[in-house]
Homo-oligomer: A and B are copies of this chain.
Amino acid sequence: MPRYRLDIEYDGRFYAGWQRQADLPTVQEAIEKAILAFTGETVTIRGAGRTDAGVHATGQVAHVDLGRDWRADKVQGALNAHLSLAGEYVSALAVEKVADDFDARFSATARHYLYVILNRRAPAALLRGNVWHVPRRLDADAMHAAAQRLLGRHDFTTFRSVQCQSDSPVKTLDRLDVTRAGDLVEIRASARSFLHNQVRSMVGSLKRVGDGGWSGDDLEAALKAANRARCGQVAPADGLYLVKVDYRDATPNL
């Protein structure tokens, strides 16, 4: 059975997250239904990141095994045709055949997220649901400086959802950059893997630094407390994008 890697973009506003649920629309279900429509096969796909309700992706990666040896570009064309027909806000950016041992989730060596804050007085109209609207002016430089204190290997319990199913709260954060581009404050976070709600919890806490409520020392103290109660606000899903997933070897074209 040939295995395919799917690179996926979606608008999380229209989905209750990546992972299939009984009675709610999910990205996984949208893709599996589109595959069923052109292959006749009921498949289960696995994604690199199980994004929450409302979270977007420009670079989600999934894999699927198909019973027939389709050409990769045919899979992409048919998948997109059926996604469009169904009115889904999901698009297959690329499809390629990969080795049998490629696993979108377990082979991933790094995940990259972008969080976008619309930092202006007026609420979002064009970007409504795709950004977090923060009216009060944020100091992006102060946020960036404070963010550097979270880099490295730490117990991230403070920034972990109580529903997190990870075995350990210890993770290594490789990048947490904050930059301003006009009215947008963009936060880029990279790690091998993240705890549940970790990016949104860090962003909510950094926002507190940005509006002057917290110092960099306060942020570091919150991390070191390893206590969920010390987390700042959890930023809404609206501004979060899974933008890229890395794999050890470039996935070979078979």
A122 at the interface (CB under 8 A from B): yes
User: Once the chains bind, are A11 and B126 in contact (CB under 8 Å)?
Assistant: yes
Number of copies: 2
CA distance A139 to B127 in the complex (A): 29
Chain B: CB-nearest residue to A27: B125
A56 at the interface (CB under 8 A from B): yes
Chain B residues, Cβ within 8 Å of A76: 121-122
A91 at the interface (CB under 8 A from B): yes
A sample of 9 more A-B contacts (CB under 8 A), given A91-B124, A94-B122, is A10-B126, A11-B125, A80-B123, A84-B123, A89-B125, A89-B126, A89-B128, A90-B125, A91-B122
A205 at the interface (CB under 8 A from B): no
* Interface mask (A77-97 → B, CB under 8 Å = 1, otherwise 0): 000100110001111111000
Q: In the complex, how many angstroms separate the beta carbon of A123 from the nearest chain B beta carbon?
A: 5
CA distance A44 to B67 in the complex (A): 62
User: Once the chains bind, are A9 and B58 in contact (CB under 8 Å)?
Assistant: no
Q: Which residues of chain A (80-137) have a CB below 8 Å from chain B? A: 80, 83-84, 88-94, 120-126, 128, 130
Using CB atoms and an 8 Å cutoff, list the residues of chain A in contact with chain B: 9-11, 56, 58, 76, 80, 83-84, 88-94, 120-126, 128, 130
CA distance A196 to B121 in the complex (A): 33
Chain B residues, Cβ within 8 Å of A10: 125-126
CA distance A156 to B56 in the complex (A): 42
Q: In the complex, how many angstroms separate the beta carbon of A117 from the nearest chain B beta carbon?
A: 16
User: Once the chains bind, are B126 and A130 in contact (CB under 8 Å)?
Assistant: yes
